[in-house]
């Protein structure tokens, strides 16, 4: 049923389930990050970060405040330049090919950058121009997304009148306007009431089930346990744990306990 929402029409669309990075062990990856470092003057925000994300994964980036989550995600969506290291997204080198990568990538930044004075619908249709999507297709897709995110009633409301939970839904809907195979979300549920959080979790799980790879950060362990198939835990810019929940906890402690131990160091 969800496939109705995920119509593949974009002229630049490349189906990345079939074209991915070949890494070690001949695994297919949609994202590969190798020996990534980021310095802000003398401060090391990211230190030798290496990980891979498989197509179809719901991949988590966990860490306390200041761990480097947003810096890493901003590098992945080309807002911040790394100091060294390599990144491939959908078999393309981020350093040279971001223009191609962006056509198949959805972004939900930590601070939502919606246009306050425009309506919900206008925020979606104007964003679609960034991808050169035809007006008719853009209107169709916007309506599908507003339906999927239960935003129909707010279609013509100005964004400035919306609650935090609704704004988040608009930002996630907007990230899907170009039918991406990969979406990157930076703490999309931070500060939301449990009901709104649950609603967003449900939508993200449906999107992931429809085949979209999700890379998302959080510092809520309940969220990590519920959503993530694989994850890395960052602390002070380094990866301190990597794998599935069972690899990380070894069934000895809960993720919450492990996180609290890490956050103390």
Tell me how far, at minimum, the Cβ of 207 lies from ligand ADP, in Å.
Answer: 23
Tell me how far, at minimum, the Cβ of 189 lies from Mg ion, in Å.
Answer: 13
Tell me how far, at minimum, the Cβ of 66 lies from ligand ADP, in Å.
Answer: 4
- Nearest residue (CB) to ligand ADP, 118 versus 190: 190
Residues that bind ligand ADP in the complex, under the rule CB under 6 A: 40, 43, 45, 63, 65-71
Rule CB under 5 A: say whether 70 interacts with Mg ion: yes
Residue 248 φ then ψ, to 5° = -80, -40
- Nearest residue (CB) to Mg ion, 56 versus 106: 106
Tell me how far, at minimum, the Cβ of 69 lies from Mg ion, in Å.
Answer: 5
Residue 199, contacted partner among ligand ADP, Mg ion, none, CB below 5-8 A by kind: none
- Nearest residue (CB) to Mg ion, 54 versus 78: 78
Tell me how far, at minimum, the Cβ of 46 lies from Mg ion, in Å.
Answer: 13
Yes or no: say if 215 and 53 are a contact pair by the CB < 8 Å rule. yes
Q: Looking at 42-50, 69-77, 90-98, 159-167, which segment touches Mg ion (CB under 5 A)?
A: 69-77
- Which residues within the stretch 88-117 sit at the binding site for Mg ion (CB under 5 A)? 110
Residues forming the site for Mg ion (CB under 5 A):
69-70, 110
């Amino acid at each position: 049923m969800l496939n109705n929402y995920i119509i593949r029409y974009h002229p630049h669309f490349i189906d990345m389930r079939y074209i991915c990075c070949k890494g070690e062990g001949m695994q297919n990856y949609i994202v590969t990050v190798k020996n990534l470092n980021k310095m802000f003057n003398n401060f090391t925000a990211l230190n030798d970060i290496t990980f891979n994300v498989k197509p179809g994964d719901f991949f988590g980036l966990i860490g306390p405040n200041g761990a480097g989550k947003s810096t890493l995600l901003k590098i992945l969506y080309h807002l911040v330049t790394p100091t060294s290291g390599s990144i491939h997204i959908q078999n393309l080198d981020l350093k040279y090919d971001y223009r191609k990568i962006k056509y198949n990538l959805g972004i939900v930044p930590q601070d939502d950058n919606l246009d306050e004075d425009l309506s919900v619908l206008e925020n979606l249709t104007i964003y679609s121009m960034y991808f050169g999507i035809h007006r008719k297709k853009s209107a169709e897709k916007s309506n599908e997304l507003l339906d999927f995110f239960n935003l129909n009633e707010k279609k013509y409301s100005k964004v400035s009148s919306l609650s935090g939970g609704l704004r988040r839904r608009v930002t996630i809907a907007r990230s899907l306007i170009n039918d991406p195979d990969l979406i990157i979300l930076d703490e999309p549920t931070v500060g939301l009431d449990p009901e709104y959080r649950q609603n967003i979790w449900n939508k993200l799980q449906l999107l992931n089930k429809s085949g979209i790879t999700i890379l998302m950060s959080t510092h809520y362990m309940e969220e990590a346990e519920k959503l993530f198939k694989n994850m890395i835990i960052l602390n002070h810019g380094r990866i301190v744990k990597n794998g599935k929940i069972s690899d990380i906890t070894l069934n000895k402690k809960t993720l919450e306990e492990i996180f609290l131990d890490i956050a103390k160091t």
